Structure 1
Amino acid sequence: GCASIFFALEGYIYLESPDTNTPLVISHRGVSNKNGVQNTVQSLEKTAQLKPDLIEMDVQETKDGQFVMMHDTNLKS
């Protein structure tokens, strides 16, 4: 909801001013090869130590209203 709107707006503002912005380092799902399991709290903690500008994580809402870090939208994928 609101977080998605915030990050979309932040990205839009960043892209609207390319001449004044420095490149960002964005960690995708929190880890690189052999550095841990993607989309886990442990990967967030390891990645935070490297101090990227942003960490992209996949968050899904379950049917009972809980949020989980998971790339796929269902367990069948």
Structure 2
Amino acid sequence: MTVTPVDKMSFEQAMAELEQVVGQLERGDVALEESITLYERGAALKKRCEAKLKEAEEKVAAITLDGDGNPKGLTPVEGL
């Protein structure tokens, strides 16, 4: 089985594997050493997911804010 390096994973790949890791740890059917390895992998996957989310938030902010950090091109929703 080939293990994809965490830093090469998409958000979706990292999240899917993180869910698997959490499931294995919650079941508690792995040896202590393997649990430690899984926990370390899970921590790296969580960090990758957070980084990819931050990246996406920054892209959205760049699209929706002008150079001064003010919203641009947004029209208020009627009734709000």
TM-score, length basis structure 1: 0.33
Determine which structure has the larger helix proportion and give its number: 2
Determine which structure has the larger strand proportion and give its number: 1
TM-score, length basis structure 2: 0.32
